[in-house]
């Protein structure tokens, strides 16, 4: 079993992802146990969007950009900070 810090996209695809590390102290708050899984999901989502062959963007009901891929930044010339 790999430590959570060493998991990569290939591990997720091969279903070798473990949310709770064996050295997790007893009494750890449940939200702390989910944090590594949430970080993996976020990285997976970002990698998936950046792998798209075209521009991707999403905005909320107020018209603010909430997600985009690297091609969107490249085409528009905007950095993530400006979006």
pLDDT digits (tens, 9 = 90+) for 23-32: 666 555 556 6
Are the C-beta atoms of residues 51 and 57 closer than 8 Å to each other? no
pLDDT for 21: 57
- Both tokens of 33, joined, read 């146990």
Are the C-beta atoms of residues 73 and 80 closer than 8 Å to each other? yes
pTM for the whole structure = 0.53
- Within the chain, which residues score under 70 in pLDDT? 1-33, 80, 83
pLDDT digits (tens, 9 = 90+) for 61-71: 999 988 999 99
Residue 49: partners with Cβ closer than 8 Å, 6 or more residues away: 56, 67, 68, 69
Are the C-beta atoms of residues 56 and 71 closer than 8 Å to each other? yes
What DSSP state is assigned to residue 24? P
pLDDT for 79: 75
């Amino acid at each position: 079993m790999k430590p959570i810090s060493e998991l990569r996209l290939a591990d997720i695809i091969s279903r070798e992802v473990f949310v709770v590390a064996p050295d997790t102290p007893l009494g750890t708050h449940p939200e702390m146990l989910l944090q590594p899984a949430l970080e993996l999901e976020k990285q997976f989502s970002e990698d998936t969007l950046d792998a798209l062959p075209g521009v991707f963007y999403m905005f909320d009901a107020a018209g603010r950009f909430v997600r985009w891929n690297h091609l969107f930044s490249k085409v528009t010339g905007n950095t993530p900070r400006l979006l």
